[in-house]
Chains A and B, each alone.
Chain A
Amino acid sequence: EAQVTQNPRYLITVTGKKLTVTCSQNMNHEYMSWYRQDPGLGLRQIYYSMNVEVTDKGDVPEGYKVSRKEKRNFPLILESPSPNQTSLYFCASSLGLAGVNEQFFGPGTRLTVL
């Protein structure tokens, strides 16, 4: 089954404790993205990757890191989480550019930073 998986689905942590949210896709997609969803703001792109070892900032990259060492995986890293990073996070993948192609989204990760 074609899918994007994210783990964990729910996470409660404390300020400053490093965390990683994993994302994996099995569709051999070139392009992957991370978004955060906040009430009244829709989805905003954090980082994206057009291929292995190619990543770039989205609209709200501050406080986040990503890596793309393998085509299928695109982890999101919060080195020192803060309460303003409490949000719902989505990983997505697509054959090509997200603004041109259909994106496939993961189930979401609800993060709470205390």
Chain B
Amino acid sequence: AQKVTQAQTEISVVEKEDVTLDCVYETRDTTYYLFWYKQPPSGELVFLIRRNSFDEQNEISGRYSWNFQKSTSSFNFTITASQVVDSAVYFCALSDKRSNDYKLSFGAGTTVTVRA
């Protein structure tokens, strides 16, 4: 069965610090997709990134960057120079070909608090 582990329940940083959120996944399949979603205090989840198993290229989008390492089954997310608006719950998610219809399996989430 597929599984996603976000070991960090809560992270608190001061503004402008960098913060890295860990995501470790388990799957037996060679074809799979990884996602990150953000849930700000308003509650609505927002898509951040999708990566498939054949694309290990790291991604940078502004202050956000993602490090995908198949060797360690990790898809970590870094916020550089954090801001108060980055305060949110962040979810990592996985789907693989073995699960029926590529259903998503979410991690428990990491709550990030950025203090001014």
Interface residues in chain A, defined as those with a beta carbon under 8 Å from any beta carbon in chain B:
40-45, 48, 50, 56, 58-59, 88, 90, 92, 97-108
Number of A-B contacts defined by CB within 8 Å:
62
5 nearest CB pairs, A to B: A99-B95, A99-B102, A42-B106, A105-B45, A102-B47
> Among the listed A90, A97, A102, which residue makes an inter-chain contact with B101, where contact means beta carbons less than 8 Å apart?
A97
Which residues of B80-112 have CB atoms within 8 Å of chain A's CB atoms? Answer: 91, 93, 95-96, 99-104, 106-109
> Among the listed B33, B46, B47, which residue makes an inter-chain contact with A100, where contact means beta carbons less than 8 Å apart?
B33
A46 to nearest B CB, angstroms?
Answer: 11
Residue pair B91, A48 in contact (C-beta under 8 Å): no
Interface residues in chain B, defined as those with a beta carbon under 8 Å from any beta carbon in chain A:
4, 33, 37, 42-47, 50, 91, 93, 95-96, 99-104, 106-109
Residue pair B103, A58 in contact (C-beta under 8 Å): yes
- Give A92 to B103 CA distance when docked, in angstroms: 13
Residue pair A99, B47 in contact (C-beta under 8 Å): no
Residue pair B106, A44 in contact (C-beta under 8 Å): yes
- CB within 8 Å for A59 and B101 given contacts A41-B108, A99-B95, A100-B95: no
